[in-house]
């Protein structure tokens, strides 16, 4: 008999097919009455397959008394209640590394789009403004300017490597300096980092400790020439302070792939002109999503075969 797993959100067809071949999958996201569904299936569930943004709450976890593992499709596992996992001895896996380069590519694209006004320039050419009004208004250069990376982990390192190709002056912040044998400057505090950069990339993993790490003080330190680029989690920025800073010109702009309450955005984001919006698609390439799906299954398969988990999260 196949192990019974609870699936929290939809996966692409190329993941659904092998997952359903290997496991008896109970589709939580299809259930009309979620509580009744959990009450009926909870005791049979041995693993949860979820997505980064969906995670699993304490209520989900405690509704499954025979749960052993939560396999997350995503590097970020902040939406999983880790304390509940510790309390009940449940293992957690994620999908690190396979997505870092794609997320870094998007972060750099967002910097370019924001500074060189790609979206507006496309509209200028498309709408006929070019013929009617003449050349597109000038914008700010990217190369040679100062970049700060908050969180030089796997994704942050990929971002910094790419920015080096733009001859940027690169600094970073995090819990401790990293030894990459490079000339990148370490600043202990996010405020110092913001004071010393034009483009502030947020690439740290999200936890209670990093909640609103980019607050009003950090935005003030970034200043009116500065742009925030967030490819991590919305909780790493005080969104209200960010919106006010964009409205008043305290900072120059923002490029965001993540939002509080996504996919429903704070409506103020939709009216701001100094902002680039992305619908949480940093890892959204066929190549990476296939690798993520494969890793979700590999962790499940290893668990049920009694083999070491390839990418277990330390709890």
Residue from the set 15, 53, 198, 238 that interacts with ligand 8YV by CB under 6 A: 53
Q: Is 199 exposed, middle or buried (CB count within 10 Å of its CB: 0-12, 13-18, 19+)?
A: buried
Whether the upstream peptide bond of residue 152 has omega within 30° of 0, thus cis, is: no
Lay out the sheet containing 169-173: strands in order across. 185-186, 169-173, 146-150, 199-202, 227-230, 253-256, 275-277
Write down the catalytic residue from 26, 154, 162, 233: 233
Please report, as residue ranges, which positions from 228 to 287 form the binding site for ligand 8YV (by CB under 6 A).
Answer: 280, 283
Tell me the chain's radius of gyration from C-alpha atoms: 21
Specify the stretch interacting with ligand 8YV by CB under 6 A; choose among 69-77, 105-113, 238-246, 296-304. Answer: 69-77
Q: How far is the CB of 206 from ligand 8YV (least distance, A)?
A: 9
What six digits make up the tokens of 53?
């943004």
Give CA angle at 220 (200, 141), nearest 5°. 45
Residue from the set 42, 55, 74, 151 that interacts with ligand 8YV by CB under 6 A: 74
- Are 73 and 52 spatial neighbours (Cβ–Cβ below 8 Å)? yes
Nearer CB in complex with ligand 8YV: 26/51: 51
- Are 49 and 71 spatial neighbours (Cβ–Cβ below 8 Å)? yes
DSSP letter at 75 equals S
Nearer CB in complex with ligand 8YV: 173/205: 205
DSSP letter at 206 equals P
> Is 51 an interacting residue with respect to ligand 8YV (CB under 6 A)?
yes
How far apart are alpha carbons 204 and 166 in whole angstroms? Answer: 22
Q: How far is the CB of 7 from ligand 8YV (least distance, A)?
A: 12
Specify the stretch interacting with ligand 8YV by CB under 6 A; choose among 51-59, 171-179, 207-215, 294-302. Answer: 51-59
Q: What is the per-residue binding string for ligand 8YV in 89-108, x denoting contact by CB under 6 A?
A: ----------x---------
Write down the catalytic residue from 88, 116, 280, 298: 280
> Is 290 an interacting residue with respect to ligand 8YV (CB under 6 A)?
no
> Is 52 an interacting residue with respect to ligand 8YV (CB under 6 A)?
yes
Q: How far is the CB of 103 from ligand 8YV (least distance, A)?
A: 7
Active site residues: 233, 262, 280
């Amino acid at each position: 008999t196949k192990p019974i797993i609870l699936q929290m959100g939809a996966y692409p067809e190329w993941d659904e097919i092998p997952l359903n071949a290997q496991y008896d999958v109970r589709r939580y996201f299809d259930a009309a009455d979620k509580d009744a569904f959990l009450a009926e299936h909870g005791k049979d569930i041995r693993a949860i397959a979820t997505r980064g943004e969906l995670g699993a709450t304490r209520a989900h976890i405690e509704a499954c008394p025979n749960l052993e593992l939560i396999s997350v499709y995503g590097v970020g596992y902040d939406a999983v209640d880790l304390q509940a996992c510790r309390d009940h001895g449940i293992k957690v896996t994620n999908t690190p590394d396979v997505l870092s380069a794609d997320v870094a590519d998007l972060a750099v694209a967002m910097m370019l789009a924001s500074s060189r006004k790609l979206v507006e320039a496309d509209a200028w050419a498309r709408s006929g403004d070019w013929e009617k009004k003449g050349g597109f208004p000038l914008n700010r250069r990217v190369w040679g300017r100062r970049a700060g990376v908050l969180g030089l982990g796997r994704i942050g390192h990929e971002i910094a490597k790419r920015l080096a190709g733009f001859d940027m002056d690169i600094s970073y912040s995090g819990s401790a300096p990293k030894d990459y044998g490079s000339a990148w400057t370490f600043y202990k505090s996010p405020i110092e980092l913001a004071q010393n950069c034009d483009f502030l990339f947020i690439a740290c993993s999200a936890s209670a400790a990093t909640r609103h790490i980019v607050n009003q003080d950090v935005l003030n330190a970034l200043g009116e020439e500065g742009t925030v680029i967030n490819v991590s989690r919305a909780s790493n920025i005080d969104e209200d302070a960010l919106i006010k800073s964009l409205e008043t010109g305290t900072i120059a702009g923002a490029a965001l792939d993540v939002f509080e309450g996504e996919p429903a955005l704070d409506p103020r984001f939709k009216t701001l002109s100094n902002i680039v919006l992305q619908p949480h698609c940093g890892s959204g390439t066929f190549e990476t999503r296939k690798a993520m799906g494969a890793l979700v299954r590999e962790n499940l398969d290893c668990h049920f075969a009694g083999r070491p988990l390839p990418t277990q999260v330390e709890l």
